[in-house]
Chain A
Amino acid sequence: MNLRRIIVLLGKEFIHGPKNFMFIWAIVAPLAFTLVATLAFGTLFSDKPKLGIVDEGDSQLVVMAKDIDSITTREYQDVISLKQATRRGTVDMGIVLPQNFDDIVVKKETSTIEAYIWGESLAKDRIILPTTIANLTRELAGQEVPIEIVSVTLGDEASTPWSERLIPFLVLMGVFFTGLMLPSTSVIEEKQKKTFEAIVITPASITEIFIAKATMGIVLSVFMGIVILLLNQAFGASSLLLVGVLFLGAIMAVELGLICGALIKDITTLFTIWKSGGILLFGPAIVYMFPQIPEWIGNIFPTYYALQPVVELSMRSGSWSDISLNVFILIAIDIILVFFIMLAARRLMQRT
């Protein structure tokens, strides 16, 4: 094995890689997905009832409703927009506040509020929203609460919001999409364009070619993992350990990519595997997303051993003792995969 040749090959990968559509896609897709998911899923999975308001006057109730955390309030310019939004399900209930609404309330007169309810809204939302509006109206009227309330939280485990549950999926997406796709497409493309044959008749060995492709995959995969964690503000305190775990995860991704690249004859088949076999990669992320699924199911998937330490360090302030066992299993998987790469590489050489 010649280090100089590996560096030359690696340089070739980095120079010619960015010209390849797949290279750009492997970086852009996880980032785009992260941004969309962060923006969208932050509120999509929210159980909060959604209230739409058209204020024909200048009511304080709108401001008060927007200040409440238990519901999501949106203001609309006119009744037509409000009705459209309600019909679409953008809001569960839309109300129209008449002019001088606040004066009517303060004078203890009665005002009729037109309301539109989305037909698919949940029964509980249909009771929560009118109750909240009634409560705000009483507050506006200056009525005093006839009871005193004390809240007590029981138990010691905290719940996980959706925005956090998605992070494992996003990290896996970043690390594995980049780590698996780059080396696999690179090998397949070289096979298809016959450049692979050209390289192997030079002094460069298949090991050196694979190391160069793996290095590029690992560097970009770790980079993507770090970027996604930073974008989600989930880098945690144990940065060095986290990067180390991402590195081991990236090795697994790249190894799988090289095996696929060596065994698969074309990109279509690779994408077909990605389409169907993706569940094997993303299984643990799905387990993290839905706490109802027993956690032991996650252990079945190899990617669990890359993901659990990342989740533990980045989101649960875990330490080495919380992840050590899984890290050792991950290292073992990485080593076992090396043997599979050797077998795949031997087969590739026989066919070249």
Chain B
Amino acid sequence: MNFGVIRALVVKDFALFFRNRFYALITVLGIITYLVIYFVMPSSVDEELEIGLYAPVIPPFFELIQQEEGLKFHEYNSDQDLRQAIADRIHEAGVILPEDIMEQLASGQIPLVTLYFSTDAPDEIKDIVETMVKELAYLQTGQFLAINISAEILGPDLLGDQIPIRDRMRLMLVIMLIMFEMMGLASLISEEVEQDTIRALLVTPMSVRDLFTAKLLMGVSLAFIQGALFMAIVGGLNSQPSIILIALLLGSIMFTGSGFLIASLAKDMLTSMGWGITAILIYSIPAFGIMFPGTVTDWGRFIPTYYLTNIIHQASNINTGWSEIWVDLLILMVFNMLIVWGGIMALGRKFR
């Protein structure tokens, strides 16, 4: 391998990339766009169901339930104040308890409880609030319940420490950012094949291996630098930075290898774009599953990016350490080797 030639090729590719001011500007704008998307997303998770309450006398169970996480009653001094709060959309729902509710319950009468809902309140909230109030009334009257629930938490318990949607989305954004470089690289190679500059290069003392190494270095560094920069700005490197950086590096290698594969399949720039978009759609499925948990079932494990997204998600959002993710890292490396090897072989055959 001729390192001088490789260096010259990498410098040439970078120079070509950044000589085009428009291309360079747009790359920066791409990162800025993703950053804007990240920062406009909600930074916290609303974990509690908050309900307005006007009750001259608060039944003990209504007070007791407030000690549980997940439900909070905000007390108001009058019916009018509560109505105003609902109309102002401070709460989606409000409960009015009659003054003599305790006496009525004690004497076996059926008290009238009024529920207020804002027009924004979805139907499920209406049903949920009604169910909650009914259950509290059952409990208040001491009615027998035939079940005991014995609960076990599965997975890390994030109660009170939920992952905001923007941090779930961060993963999708960084993956998309580096994945687009795969398409860029594939297009670059397709362009060189179309214009026959590849053949021109291959008649120089440069070997095919030098060419691939240079392209690999160029693709990986472009993708990795963008991904790492993005993660650093959005706070994605605050926990387990070494794991995340290694995962990003492996991801960049994977996408560069995929870029080779796409370039080997494509006969021109447009076909290369088509295959690139198809690959991006498939590769982004696991990140989609992190954004919306439960949507991707176990078949997602067959997509190489599953391991990449899982590592970054676990490390950046749940602060998982090396001991728990080394297997995923290993699988990711194996996938990388297969993809890069496959890409080089396929593209090499095309050049011949």
Which chain A residues have a beta carbon within 8 Å of chain B's beta carbons?
20-22, 25, 29, 40, 44, 46-48, 50, 68-71, 83-91, 93, 95, 104-105, 108-120, 122-128, 130-135, 137-138, 141, 143, 145-159, 161, 185, 189, 192, 266-269, 271-273, 275-279, 293
Contact = CB atoms under 8 A, between A and B. Distances in A.
B40 A293 contact: yes
A272 B184 CA distance: 8
A306 B111 CA distance: 54
A60 B122 CA distance: 27
B105 A90 contact: no
A88 B297 contact: yes
Contacts, number: 274
Interface in B272-305: 273-274, 277, 292-295, 297-298
A104 B144 CA distance: 13
B114 A110 contact: no
Interface size bucket, B side? 35 or more
B58 interface: no
A128 B27 contact: no
B132 A133 contact: no
A20 B273 CA distance: 12
A333 B155 CA distance: 53
A128 B128 contact: yes
A107 to B, nearest CB: 8
B102 to A, nearest CB: 12
A69 B122 CA distance: 10
Contacts of B49: 124, 127-128
B295 A269 contact: no
B119 A50 contact: no
Contact of A148 (B110, B270, B293): B110
A272 B28 CA distance: 11
Given A48-B124, A138-B145, A143-B143, A119 B158 contact: yes
A343 B129 CA distance: 62
Given A151-B130, A154-B119, A269-B26, 8 more contacts: A47-B125, A115-B149, A130-B149, A143-B138, A146-B138, A151-B117, A155-B87, A155-B118
B121 interface: yes
Nearest to B163: A120
Contact of A147 (B23, B116, B126, B133): B133
Contacts of A91: 294
A303 B255 CA distance: 33
A152 B114 contact: yes
